[in-house]
Amino acid sequence: MSKIQVLPQAIADKIAAGEVAERPSAVVKELVENSIDAGADRITVEIKNGGVKYIRVEDNGKGIPGDELEFAFLRHATSKLREIEDLYTLRTMGFRGEALASICAVSDVEVITKTEEAEEGTYMTLKHGVPSDKECIACNKGTTMIVENLFANIPARMKFLKKDSTESGYVSDVLERIALSNPEIAFRLISDGKEQFSTMGDGQLKNTILNIYGIECAKGILEVNHTEHGVSVTGVVGKPELARGNRARQTLIVNGRYIKNHVVSKVVEEAFKNTMMVGRFPFFVLNIDLSPELVDVNVHPAKTEIKFANEKEIYEIVHRAVKNALYSRENTVPKAEKEPERKEEYVFDRKEPTNQRFSFNLNTKPASGGFTPVEQPQKPNPGLVREFLQNTIPVRAEEKTVDSQYVLHDSLFDAEDKKEAPVSESEKTESEQMFDSNVLEEIKIAGQVFDTYVIIEHGDEMFMIDQHAAHERKRFEKLKEDYKNRAICGQLLLAPIVLDVDSVEIQVVRDHAETFKNMGFAIDEFGARSVIIRETPLIADDDEIKDTVLEIISILRDGRPSSLLDFEERALDMIACKYAIKAHKKLSMIEMEAVVKDVYELETQGITTCPHGRPIKISFTKKSIEKLFGRIV
Ligand code: ADP
Ligand code: MG
């Protein structure tokens, strides 16, 4: 073992820098927080190459006296904390006096600053933490910090940085959160010479939201304003229609500091219960203000996590605050759409003979629960698909279309037929031929239960098929194949869809233009804060198309392959899933047959699960059923 040694200061500083300044966005955060602490009401951030090459933060705050300037860059040099007790009552952003020391240890820094009283400003440069140049300069009150060549002296850290565009996205995200936390400050972000966003700084959170998320979002927000036991919860929550498939648009601010707290997110989501679908997350910007003694901000080096002293009480207050906003008279939010109850149907009538209760009734409409009557003849009708194909699809008897069951599906679910070139029997895949000639003849379709599962009988087995899982998987396999062959065709939308996005999302669209194109989307930038969708691979309503694009963006933004599927596959699955027939949809006999056909075709390829690994089909043997009824032991 080597001898224990106290690390030279320069190395210790570099290690500490890793904690505070892990990437450009963290540097921007620290510098901007210093500007806020200095009382600035106008802060401009400029970055180049995602901030790796260049970061400039300019403010109109109180400035640093020239003779103290070197001290600002020393570790534990702070003007904000004098006594250890101060730690518990602080309302400033910084307090540990570490940020500037950490940042300048891993970069080249230039600073220009002037206080109100000083006649001249001061200009100073530091190279890897060592002041190298200092002179007087004429300038306005305030401070400009320029950080260049971040991590150039630590190649190991450089490796952890992502693409410039990704880093630039992180910077936008951080600055947007800070802007949302400080509506009274005007912020501006410039990246590679282009303005990313700017806020007015008029003190109105609603306007800040408008500047950052666009008009659609600003129109859909509800005000939160609630004080209880000295804890105030203010800000906005979005109406359910602003919900997204991830939590990127949730901003929590505690005593002016943007933080992450999973429990608070959950509490807010709980307040939204019954108003949105599972897997959707509400929009919010919430400020919790409480006595600083009740919060410990010093639990995380970047100060992005906090601990509340009396958590449970605070969570309850947040919950009440959001509920009040949602259900206040002005803001009444409709409950999630529920199927209206059809009283006249399926009410057990005591006078009715029992044997009629469970019989299929062609004249009644489906109700949830129980067997769903089908409009087609009840008697299982083997070979119906064949008959249907021969009679309904306009192709010659011996010829069927490419992937005929897709024509079948698409025509059934999309209301519009697709015209594809006919192919001869010999061009069909082996599995298609086998399927056509054998299996379907032997299958009896018994019906559908819970509007979700198709029940079939095949030999000595009964199967329940998950209609959504089956169709999603079939669709997914087809999309994958087409994606590989660059053969996914987008459908031109008659009315293009404009989608409001944030700066990170627009960057993802830019970076993955090719991927979107190959997936059948035509998407272009449309102003600084929105994109326009002109073509899509799926036929769905506008909201669903928007959702799909947003979800694909969030998958691509992650960029991390999941254990099961790589991220392109996840995006394709997203399309497949949105396109596939849903659970809770009543199917006609013809539709059920198409589903069954999918299942058996997938099986011939050895596929028995949906893309997420859930089974498509579950078997019940005749024997096991007979056992249940005590017919056999
Ligand atoms: P902390 O913010 O924890 O005090 P920093 O290392 O971030 O530590 O900053 C050190 C000191 O430098 C601050 O306490 C403050 O006095 C001064 N300082 C840094 N940035 C600015 C700025 N933009 N305007 C005025 N003073 C600043
Ligand atoms: Mg600081």
The mean-pLDDT minimum among 255-264, 269-278, 301-310, 352-361 falls in 352-361
User: In the 3-class helix/strand/coil scheme, how is 69-80 assigned residue by residue?
Assistant: HHHHCCCCCCCC
Any atom of ligand 1 within 6 Å of the Cβ of 191: no
Residues 6+ apart with CB under 8 A from 304: 258, 259, 260
Ligand nearest to the CA of 79: 1
Q: Given the CA of residue 98, which atom of ligand 1 is nearest to it?
A: 6
Top-ranked range on mean pLDDT: pick from 38-47, 87-96, 403-412: 38-47
pLDDT at 19: 58
Residue 99 C-alpha to ligand 2 middle, in angstroms?
A: 5
Task: Assess whether pLDDT exceeds 80 at residue 299.
Answer: no
Q: From the CA of 61, give the closest atom in ligand 1.
A: 24
Q: Indicate whether residue 141 lines ligand 1 (CB < 6 A).
A: no
pLDDT digit string, tens, across residues 120-136: 999 999 988 888 889 99
Q: Separation of 187 CA from ligand 1 center, angstroms?
A: 19
Distance from the alpha carbon of residue 203 to the mean position of ligand 2, in angstroms: 23
Give the ligand whose atoms come closest to the C-alpha of residue 78: 1
15-29, 187-201, 263-277, 545-559: the lowest-pLDDT one: 15-29
Distance CA 104, CA 145 (A): 11
Q: Is 80 in the pocket of ligand 1 (CB under 6 A)?
A: yes
SS3 175: helix
Q: Is the CB of 64 under 6 A from ligand 1?
A: yes
Report residue 613's pLDDT band, with 50, 70 and 90 as the boundaries: confident
Q: Which residue has the tokens 């040694």?
A: 5
Query: Which segment of 91-105, 258-272, 402-416, 571-585 scores lowest on mean pLDDT?
Result: 402-416
The answer to whether the beta carbons of residues 157 and 106 sit under 8 Å apart is: yes
pLDDT digits (tens, 9 = 90+) for 344-394: 322 223 333 333 332 223 333 333 332 333 333 333 333 333 333 333 233
The H-or-E segment that residue 165 falls in is helix 164-181
Number of alpha carbons in the 13 Å side-chain half-sphere of residue 43: 31
Question: Rounded distance, CA 59 to CA 375, Å?
Answer: 71
Residue 412 CA to ligand 2 centre (angstroms): 62
Helix segments in 21-68, DSSP class H: 24-37
Residue nearest to atom 12 of ligand 1 (CA): 72
Candidates 100, 110, 116, 297: which one to mutate for ligand 1, based on the most atoms within 8 Å of Cβ?
A: 100
CB-ligand 1 contact for 78 (6 Å cutoff) = yes
Listed in sequence order, the residues at least 6 apart from 274 whose beta carbon sits closer than 8 Å to its beta carbon are 335, 336
Distance 258 CA to ligand 1 centre (A): 19
Residue 376: per-residue pLDDT: 33
